[in-house]
Copies of this chain bind each other. A is one copy, B any other.
């Protein structure tokens, strides 16, 4: 019996994933051409499923990349002539900023300590693109939609990119105040890694097309115009992870059948349990002190010098905690709270942590 995996990605695989893959083999999905009608209907099913799940407005586009990391690169390459701005409070938001620097952009950042949230935006930024990481997977800090609404109010012209990795499908995106949202599937969607999903509105497409016309380079096969013109035919510019896209379409369907409200209610129930256990613990504490900044989907515990001991204690009971990120490796444990993690395992986890002393 494998332990339940609480690492926030690659994480516990959703319980239906294996059966879907078996069915895919029975149906010959791993062999189909990405130019076939079969593939187009899989793409369409995935797009319709996600649209319903996240309530995506008409006019938004959905394309596939190999990862969210790839979207960091492609978004900067396709949407920034000169200036972008990044909100940085952890490893992943920091890497998005680093990519902008590597690509030679005039990149600004608003940086706060790991484990902290950001001050309310107090004025406009002189930037073409603003990047926000809705859920810092390294620290368990979440950005609220109200905060993004403030950012939008001061920056109506800028393209607001939201890295939704590890926030989705729990967090309901507010599509009217952002321009793009992306994630990889090995977090909240409970899938094997190797696929990124990138949503964008028409403003992103127009910006990339304007850049191309003005002689800027957007890239090669994974430029926004190339991704979008293929997506309109429910195709991809090059051979994608077809089996991953198939599985994504099926998992979206499973989530819809379970009901997104049910999933979200359970997510809150599970996170409340765990945060309560941590708040009331003698030794272990939540890393994020300010409650409104606390992620519901990635909960980071400050486990100090007991980290190794707690990890082993949980593992003995069939629960594999996620290691802390980077410097946090020795003093923190992370717990993903995704649809693949049942209420029962969260009850067990909270109970075990409460008993640990």
Q: Is A217 an interface residue (CB 8 A)?
A: yes
Which of B28, B33, B104 is A2 in contact with, Cβ under 8 Å?
B28
| Contact pick for A244, options B10, B22, B194, CB 8 Å | B194
Pairwise interchain contact B25-A7, C-beta atoms closer than 8 A: no
A120 within 8 A of B: no
Q: Which residues A1-40 have CB closer than 8 A to chain B?
A: 2, 5, 7, 9-13, 17-18, 21-22, 25, 27-34
Report the separation of the CA atoms of residues A330 and B323 in the bound assembly, to the nearest whole angstrom. 56
We find that the number of chain A residues with CB closer than 8 angstroms to chain B is 52
Interface residues of A in 35-74 (CB under 8 A from B): 66-67, 69-70, 72-73
Those of A212-241 within 8 Å (CB) of chain B: 217, 219-222, 237-241
Chain B residues positioned under 8 Å from A66 (CB to CB): 66-67, 70, 194, 241
Instruction: Please measure, in the bound complex, the distance between the C-alpha atom of A194 and the C-alpha atom of B104, giving whole angstroms.
Output: 29
Asked if A286 is at the interface (CB within 8 A of a chain B CB), the reply is no
CB distance from A328 to the nearest CB of B (A): 13
In the complex, which residues of chain B have a beta carbon less than 8 angstroms from the beta carbon of A184? 239
Instruction: Classify the interface of chain A: helix, strand, loop or mixed.
Output: loop
Which partner residue on chain B sits nearest A101 by CB separation? B220
Q: Which of B10, B186, B243 contacts A192 (CB 8 A)?
A: B243
Point out the residue from B5, B99, B217 that lies within 8 Å of A220, measured CB to CB: B99
**Shortest distance from the beta carbon of A107 to any chain B beta carbon, whole Å:** 12
Question: Contact flags (1/0) for A328-343 with B, using CB distance below 8 Å?
Answer: 0000000000000000
Check A217 against B102 for contact (C-beta < 8 Å): yes
Q: Do the beta carbons of B7 and A221 come within 8 Å of each other?
A: no
Q: State whether the Cβ of A193 lies closer than 8 Å to any Cβ in chain B.
A: yes
- Assess whether B194 is in contact with A72, with CB atoms less than 8 Å apart: no
By the criterion CB–CB under 8 Å, are B32 and A242 in contact? Answer: no
User: Is A345 an interface position by the 8 A CB rule?
Assistant: no
Residue of B nearest to A217 (CB): B104
Q: Is A153 an interface residue (CB 8 A)?
A: no
- Cβ-closest chain B residue relative to A65: B66
Q: A241 touching B239 by the CB < 8 A rule? A: no
Can you identify 14 A-B contacts, CB atoms within 8 angstroms? A2-B27, A5-B28, A7-B31, A7-B33, A17-B30, A30-B191, A66-B194, A72-B220, A73-B222, A102-B219, A103-B217, A192-B241, A193-B241, A194-B243
List 14 extra interface pairs beyond A2-B31, A13-B25, A103-B220, CB under 8 A. Answer: A5-B28, A7-B31, A9-B239, A10-B33, A10-B242, A30-B193, A67-B238, A69-B221, A102-B217, A192-B242, A193-B242, A193-B243, A194-B194, A194-B243
Q: Which 7 A-B pairs have the closest CB atoms?
A: A194-B241, A66-B66, A69-B238, A30-B192, A192-B243, A5-B31, A99-B220
